[in-house]
Amino acid sequence: MTNDEIFSKVQAIIVDQTGEDAEKVTMTTNIKEDLDADSLDIFEVINEIEDEFDIKIETEEGIDTVSDLVGFVEKQLKKAK
C-alpha cells in the first residue's frame, strides 16, 4: 500500500469522525489544534484506523499531524509483512 493510499484512507476516517471538509485534512494538519479534535474524537479516529488497517496503535503520543499518523500506519504495515 502506497503512502498516498494510506493518506486517502486516513483522511476519509478523519473527515468521517470529525465532520471536517476533506480539503482541511492534509498531511500537515495538526489533528488536535487544526481540527479542534478532543480526546474522544482522537480515540474514535484511532479505533477506525486500527480496524481499517488491522493494526494496533498503543499510544497516540508522538502522533500530532496527519503525516505522523500516516507514517505510523505505514511502519506498522511494513512490520506486518
Q: How many domains does the chain have?
A: 1
| Residue 71 binned pLDDT confidence (cut-offs 50, 70, 90) | very high
Distance in angstroms (rounded) separating the CA atoms of residues 24 and 39: 19
Tell me how crowded residue 5 is: count the other CB atoms within 10 A of its CB. 11
The conformation of residue 61, written as its DSSP 8-state character, comes to: T
**Displacement of CA 20 from its chain's centroid (Å):** 14
| Per-residue model confidence (pLDDT) at position 61 | 74
The reported pLDDT for the residue numbered 79 is 87
Indicate whether 21 pLDDT > 80.
Answer: yes
Instruction: Kindly list the distances between the CA atom of residue 14 and the CA atoms of 4, 37, 79, in Å, as whole numbers in the listed order.
Output: 15, 10, 24
CA–CA gap between residue 73 and residue 24 (Å, rounded):
20
Active site residues: 38
pTM: 0.91
Task: Find the domain containing 64 and state its range.
Answer: 3-80
CATH number at residue 52: 1.10.1200.10
